[in-house]
A and B are shown apart, each in its own frame.
Chain A
Amino acid sequence: MIPAPFDYHAPATVPEAVALLTRYRDTAKVLAGGQSLLPLLKLRLGAAAQLVDIGRIPGLEYVEERGNTLRIGGCTRESTLERSELVRARYPILLDTAKVIADPVVRNRATVGGNLAHGDPANDHPATMLALGAEVVAVGPKGERTIPVDRFFRGLFEVALEPDEILTEIRIPAPPARSGGAYAKLERKVGDFATAAAAAQVTLGSSGTVERAGLALTNAGATPIRVEAAEAYLKGKKPERATLAEAARLAAQAATPQADRRGTVEYKRQMARVMAQRALESAVARAGGR
């Protein structure tokens, strides 16, 4: 399959890339790893007259903790995230997530920023970033701004980036002591989008009760879904099995999946519940709660 014709630009810096996006506005698309965009262009489900490749801009691939924040460069490959010692040691939820995105060969190209900016509710990082309370950095002609991830996903394939903005960094608050997170995904085979998946991040207080809980769902509606009802319900409670089960039930209630070859609406809602329960239980275990 051959994409429709387009022109290709390889800016060497972020300002150059922004200038190109400013010039071409709605006719341009940002190309990062290309593992979502190129298939769309090839299938001609999408079109762009101009591709602005940010993959050649140096300095956009990094995973580092500075102060109380984990910073991930927008063009960081999923495979880099997967192999990062820092991620393995301190952010197991990110490792859980990276390992189930597409397949290992695709992950050598796919980027974390692209996984978010593409705005596909079936992508895996959005739920994880919602659970973690992350924010993204967008750079445009007027400079830099930060956008909390829970205001980032606006609709199906629609995010809060302006056409002339580039997602350059993801910022995640470093988890305090007694924190844990996990991502649980049900997929038919490696490389499939989730039938259902859930991300949970939990911080326990000194008395063993939940101080903060983040819970979000993948592929359960037009956008990734943060389950605020479950987060509020868990706060201040002991993370016992029945309590987590009630939070998972609230997650299933928040899910608005569509029937497709992966299953019926009722099946997917049930699987959202099961995935939420599993993610919460692993998160609590990793937080040292059980």
Chain B
Amino acid sequence: MARHAIRLTVNGAAREAEVESRLLLVHLLRDVLRLTGTHIGCDTTHCGACTVLLDGEPVKSCTVLAVQANGRELTTVEGLEQGGKLHPVQEGFMEKHGLQCGYCTPGMLMTGCALLRRNPRPTEQEIREAISGNLCRCTGYVNIVRAMQYAAEHMG
């Protein structure tokens, strides 16, 4: 029984797939469900480009098996926009120029979104700690922190 039928909720929609035991969650998202907004960066649990929300908590989807997500709820970057309106964290990244190449952005957005849900008014230090598992090689983090501060001020 090296294959498993799994059911999960992805960005609010029920999805089903038949997966090999060893299939990684990030490959389920990108290759099977064709949600390519989630990036693969280092592939070794360091960079956080592949961060998605699993039952609301940010996790590195290169280090979770797809079968471990069976029955769980996932949110990817594609699920942040609601009814044509960007998530405040997305708006913040636009307003404050929180990206250059954009590779780390989907993961940063997911970590930022989870941080603000848990802590709506984070200090700069708390933001920096929260994103310390998400690497950015362009911005020096300054504008990413500003983007999240912007989001905190604009969360409804």
Chain A residues with a Cβ under 8 A of chain B: 1-8, 10, 31, 34-35, 38-39, 41-43, 51, 53, 55, 79, 102-106, 108-109, 190-191
Q: Is the CB of B21 within 8 A of A105?
A: no
By size class, the interface of chain B is 20 to 34
Instruction: Other than A7-B2, A103-B48, A191-B46, give 7 A-B pairs with Cβ distance below 8 A.
Output: A1-B43, A42-B24, A43-B44, A51-B21, A102-B45, A105-B60, A190-B132
Q: Which residues of chain B from 64 to 82 have any CB-CB distance to chain A below 8 Å in the complex?
A: 64-65, 67-68, 70
Q: Which residues of chain B from 16 to 52 have any CB-CB distance to chain A below 8 Å in the complex?
A: 20-22, 24, 43-46, 48, 51
Q: Is the CB of B2 within 8 A of A105?
A: no
Q: Is the CB of B132 within 8 A of A108?
A: no
Partner of B21, one of A8, A34, A102, A103: A8
Q: How far is the CB of A147 from chain B (nearest CB, A)?
A: 28
| Given A8-B4, A38-B63, A190-B132; A108-B58 close (CB under 8 Å) | yes
Q: Is the CB of B59 within 8 A of A103?
A: no
Q: Is the CB of A53 within 8 A of B68?
A: yes
Partner of B22, one of A5, A43, A102, A190: A5
Q: Is the CB of B46 within 8 A of A105?
A: no
* Bound complex: CA A10 to CA B20 (Å): 14
Chain B residues with a Cβ under 8 A of chain A: 1-2, 4, 20-22, 24, 43-46, 48, 51, 54, 57-60, 62-65, 67-68, 70, 111, 129-130, 132-134
Q: Is the CB of A105 within 8 A of B22?
A: no
Write out the residue numbers on chain A whose beta carbons fall within 8 Å of the beta carbon of B2: 5-8
- Could you give 27 example pairs across A and B, Cβ below 8 Å? A2-B24, A3-B22, A4-B22, A6-B2, A6-B22, A7-B1, A7-B21, A8-B21, A10-B70, A42-B24, A42-B43, A51-B21, A53-B68, A55-B68, A103-B132, A104-B130, A104-B132, A104-B133, A105-B48, A105-B134, A106-B45, A106-B133, A108-B58, A108-B59, A109-B63, A190-B132, A191-B133
* Bound complex: CA A155 to CA B38 (Å): 39
Q: Is the CB of B132 within 8 A of A35?
A: no
Q: How far is the CB of B50 from chain A (nearest CB, A)?
A: 10
Partner of B133, one of A5, A39, A41, A105: A105
| Given A34-B65, A79-B57; A6-B133 close (CB under 8 Å) | no
A41, closest chain B residue (CB) = B22
Write out the residue numbers on chain B whose beta carbons fall within 8 Å of the beta carbon of A34: 63-65, 68
* Bound complex: CA A35 to CA B45 (Å): 8
* Bound complex: CA A38 to CA B21 (Å): 12
* Bound complex: CA A68 to CA B64 (Å): 36
* Bound complex: CA A104 to CA B133 (Å): 6
